[in-house]
């Protein structure tokens, strides 16, 4: 089961990978990357201009030492924004 959010988040990256994100005032440290994939869509090309329109998706295990969860994050490369897409139970 999962819950869908679509909430904008702040992400700290290292070498293109998320290492920490802030959601609802809480800092979540990424413990491990479970999966990573990229989506490309033709209709994004107009918005992207000369840059390749893509979204990078990351499924990560993150949280604190006491509370870990699985989160799906999305990075819109053109806009530079990060979104918490869903929290998996």
pLDDT single digits (tens) 67-88: 899 999 999 988 899 999 999 9
The pTM score is 0.84
Rounded-to-integer distance, Cα 12 and Cα 53, Å: 21
Question: Mean pLDDT across the stretch 38-46?
Answer: 69
Give the Cβ contact number of residue 12 at 10 Å: 12
Which span out of 7-11, 37-41, 47-51 was modeled with the highest average pLDDT?
Answer: 7-11
Q: Which residues are bridge partners to 81 per DSSP?
A: 76
CA torsion, points 22, 26, 29, 30, in degrees to nearest 10?
A: -60
Average pLDDT of the segment spanning 21-27: 93
Q: Which helix (H) or strand (E) holds 89?
A: none
């Amino acid at each position: 089961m999962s819950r869908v959010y679509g909430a904008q988040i702040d992400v700290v990256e290292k070498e293109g990978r998320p290492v920490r994100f802030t959601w609802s005032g809480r800092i979540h440290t990424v413990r491990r990357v479970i999966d990573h994939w990229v989506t490309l869509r033709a209709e994004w090309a107009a918005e992207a201009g000369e840059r390749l329109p893509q979204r990078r998706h990351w499924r990560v295990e993150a949280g604190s030492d006491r509370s870990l969860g699985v989160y799906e994050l999305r990075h819109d490369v053109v806009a530079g924004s990060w979104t918490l897409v869903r929290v998996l139970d």
